[in-house]
Structure 1
Amino acid sequence: MSADTEKTSNEAVKGLKGIIAADSSICLVNGTEGKLLYRGYNIDDLAENATFEEVSFLLLNGELPNESQLADYQNELKKHRSIPAELIDTLKNLPESAPPMALLRSLTSLAGVYDPDAEEESYEKRLEISIKLISQIPTMVAAIHRIRKGLEPVEPDSSLCHAGNFMYMLNGEKPSEDATRAMDLILTLHAEHGLNASTFTSRVIIATLPDIYSAITGAIGALKGKLHGGANTEVLKTLFEIGSLENITPYIKNVRENKGKFMGFGHAVYQVEDPRAKHLKELSRRLGEETGEPKWYEMSIEMEKQVYAEIKRNCNVDFYSASLQHYMGIPGDLFTCIFASSRIAGWCAHILEQLDGNKIIRPKANYIGYEERSYVPVSQR
């Protein structure tokens, strides 16, 4: 189908790549320099020094908290950790075969039904709902994980930090210091990344002025897609498929001969090294030693070296997060839910920013169909 339509200066850009769709003070992603800033703070600085509680507060409020603000914020997160019993009852009645992200999407939507403040439109209530979701998404993810294994959900432990409690709810035992640090780092590094597909989805939805739960449900739906949130799951599958150090070279040769793709390498934005990747590598090494199973880290090191030699592409944040989360006792099909438990902070920050001076997002399509034509009766077609 074609048409001699009049050309305009606004020709369509597939995927909106490079199109500026919003003014935002939340995040800078510089793909040329390999730089990532949250509210002006370099991700290296935050990864080495800040906790996820500090980072999520920063994203929501624009500044890092002082001691008093941090204590209050931590208490707010702890206060909201438990989820309605009805969500657990519903989860137990959903199909065991359902993908974890489908379950998380459905639970998030249902959580809005049970929140009496869901439709409130004041900034204070919307901020409170954002904090509630940052706190409760990990509880939902942990419940999904345990119920799928035939286990009862673990109640939150208010003596633990956000990351430590998340690990405790997942595995049912107090995590080691390295495991807690690993979860905190994963949450920090994935918390925000500009106008990616799921974040843009959340802004498009909230711009129509529904409730925040609707926008977050849509964002989770976008993150569920294979082209967005599941790369580290594929990395783990690849490591399992290869199985040993000596199989890496023939695997790489086979992928190259069949013009395949190396999961966890390259990035849609970064033209140089993903600034987040290096922070996960060392923790993967340490947890590999701690669990007595260093081979997945050793395989990752060797694969990174050989793939770079072949295609001159650096690994991205997904590559070492695969072996790291495996060491943390997290199954591959739950990785994207862990991603959502982190990115919820960025989604909520963008939602609050969009609502400040909101305007509905209504882009224009470049029509390439037929010019006007006449209806023909069915007997004459």
Structure 2
Amino acid sequence: MTESGKVATVTLEGKSASLPVHSGTLGPDVLDIRKITADLGVFTFDPGYGETASCTSKITFIDGDKGILLHRGYPIAQLAEQATFTEVAYLLLNGELPTTTEHDAFVDTLKSHTLLHEQIRNFFNGFRRDAHPMAILCGTVGALSAFYSDANDISNAASRNLSAMRLIAKLPTIAAWAYKYTQGEAFVYPRNDLTYAENFLSMMFAHPSEPYKINPILARAMDRILILHADHEQNASTSTVRMAGSTGANPFACVAAGIAALWGPAHGGANEAVLKMLAKIGSKDNIPEFIAQVKDKNSGVRLMGFGHRVYKNFDPRAKIMQATCHEVLGELGIKDDPLLDLAVELEKIAINDEYFVKRSLYPNVDFYSGIILKAMGIPTSMFTVLFALARTTGWISQWKEMIEEPGQRISRPRQLYTGSPERDFTPFAKRG
């Protein structure tokens, strides 16, 4: 962040405040309002923080109007098409792409932390068999601090780095075991001869009684899904991680808080909502009526998986996910799945309908990722878990950046109070 040299002056009831204007590497200039309360006796009102920069960051940049998503300056399309998830994880954590030697060491370190403490197995037995996997994930990640007390020493760089590696390494194991537990199947331990994505698929679908063959097309698809969801600037869950981290909480607790925020259907549950929408439509014959309902503002019907709060043009991740979707469906030979056929037909109609084109309601990453995950045999209850698995890398990178920032303060938003003014207490006897 640099001073642009520009100053905005705000005048209120004879008082004036000079607000410095800061410039980032990319994006619009930002007004520094930190002294507005001291100078004018007021503070700003911004529900949802849609117009407020809560921090400085060097990790991710988004230009929603132009459909741009950069990680440390690299376009998401280049990373998804040419890099592996572990390369992207290293990039997010350290700021630069790794050399071969650095990447090998990074992967070796991750592999040394994929196992869970054996006592953590007992945690799973405490959940009901029909527990939602996100509940299991959130609870188990939060409990990791009970096994790694050194994580509480957030002032120590080595401790922070170790916690980051533990989280990235152990999330696939916890996520896969959450699935296995709900299915009543035996836990499958991680294998260090596999890549990050391959290892997760193995723990999800392998059985102790027979060998599991990795499909390279599906493994690459999973790797891309992880890359495309790795970080997305200051969204609700990332902001939650940063806010929790600002209190000095250990990183396991902070990531558990992020998982809880991601659980909401308006955030991490969007791809699951896509499949629920398709199931509700039922058949291709019902699409015209559904589209008509979407266009009717009074119907309350929404087209899930199209458009994005941030991207006002197109989601740069969607094109990559679309191509991956067709690769997966082709590899699996899926041609007659009614739900997938319905999705393809809905996509075709929506992208050619002037109503949706005019409003830039193009398919987003959630539309295609839900179709891919279903085709791969992953149940909808695991969709948000997969999102959390990918996003953990971004969360812990954002957490480290925040903790290491000089002058970091506890987050404390203000409010516009609309309740009762001060009044005197009335005893029971006088209340009637």
TM-score range, shorter chain: over 0.9
| Contact 1:285 1:297 survives alignment (8 Å) | no
CA distance in structure 1 between the partners assigned to 2:264 and 2:300 by the alignment: 23
Q: Select the residue among 158, 179, 195 that pairs with 2:218.
A: 179
Q: Does 1:154 align with 2:195?
A: no
| Contact 2:61 2:70 survives alignment (8 Å) | yes
CA distance in structure 1 between the partners assigned to 2:213 and 2:124 by the alignment: 24
CA distance in structure 1 between the partners assigned to 2:74 and 2:216 by the alignment: 25
Per chain length, whose mean CA-contact separation is higher, i.e. which structure has more relative contact order (CA < 8 Å, sep 6+)?
A: 1
Query: What SS does the corresponding residue of 1:28 show, helix, strand or coil?
Result: strand
The answer for the alignment partner of 2:389 in structure 1 is 341
Q: Select the residue among 234, 247, 257 that pairs with 1:195.
A: 234
The answer for the alignment partner of 2:320 in structure 1 is 279
Residue identity opposite 2:343 in structure 1: S
Query: What SS does the corresponding residue of 1:208 show, helix, strand or coil?
Result: coil
Let me know the Cα RMSD of the aligned residues.
1.7
The answer for the alignment partner of 2:56 in structure 1 is 23
Residue identity opposite 1:127 in structure 2: N
Which piece of structure 1 moves more, 249-258 or 263-272?
Answer: 249-258
CA distance in structure 2 between the partners assigned to 1:102 and 1:125 by the alignment: 27
- CA 1:8–1:270 in 2, change beyond 3 Å: closer, same or farther? farther
Q: Select the residue among 46, 54, 61 that pairs with 2:94.
A: 61
More helix as a share of residues: 1
Shift of 1:87: 1.8
| Contact 1:171 1:329 survives alignment (8 Å) | no
Query: What SS does the corresponding residue of 2:150 show, helix, strand or coil?
Result: coil
CA distance in structure 2 between the partners assigned to 1:374 and 1:241 by the alignment: 54
The answer for the alignment partner of 2:412 in structure 1 is 362
More strand as a share of residues: 2
Query: What SS does the corresponding residue of 2:264 show, helix, strand or coil?
Result: coil
Shift of 1:376: 2.7
| Contact 2:131 2:182 survives alignment (8 Å) | no
Shift of 1:77: 1.0
**CA deviation profile, 1:101-127 (whole Å, cap 9, x unmatched):** 111000101122112422233111111
The answer for the alignment partner of 1:111 in structure 2 is 144
Shift of 1:210: 1.7
Query: What SS does the corresponding residue of 1:276 show, helix, strand or coil?
Result: helix
Residue identity opposite 2:364 in structure 1: N
The answer for the alignment partner of 1:314 in structure 2 is 362
Unaligned stretches of 5+ in structure 2?
1-39, 207-211
Taking structure 2 as the reference length, the TM-score comes to 0.83
Residue identity opposite 1:217 in structure 2: A
Percent identity between matched residues is 35
The answer for the alignment partner of 1:13 in structure 2 is 46
Query: What SS does the corresponding residue of 2:152 show, helix, strand or coil?
Result: coil
Residue identity opposite 2:99 in structure 1: N
CA distance in structure 1 between the partners assigned to 2:329 and 2:287 by the alignment: 19
Question: Structure 2 matches for 1:1-381, cutoff 5 A?
Answer: 9-121=42-154, 122-172=156-206, 173-257=212-296, 258-294=299-335, 295=337, 296-308=339-351, 309=353, 310-312=355-357, 313-356=361-404, 357=406, 358-381=408-431
Query: What SS does the corresponding residue of 1:58 show, helix, strand or coil?
Result: helix
CA distance in structure 1 between the partners assigned to 2:325 and 2:41 by the alignment: 52
| Contact 2:201 2:219 survives alignment (8 Å) | yes
Unaligned stretches of 5+ in structure 1?
1-6
| Contact 2:129 2:184 survives alignment (8 Å) | no
The answer for the alignment partner of 1:4 in structure 2 is none
Equivalent pairs counted in the alignment come to 375
Taking structure 1 as the reference length, the TM-score comes to 0.94
| Contact 1:43 1:276 survives alignment (8 Å) | yes
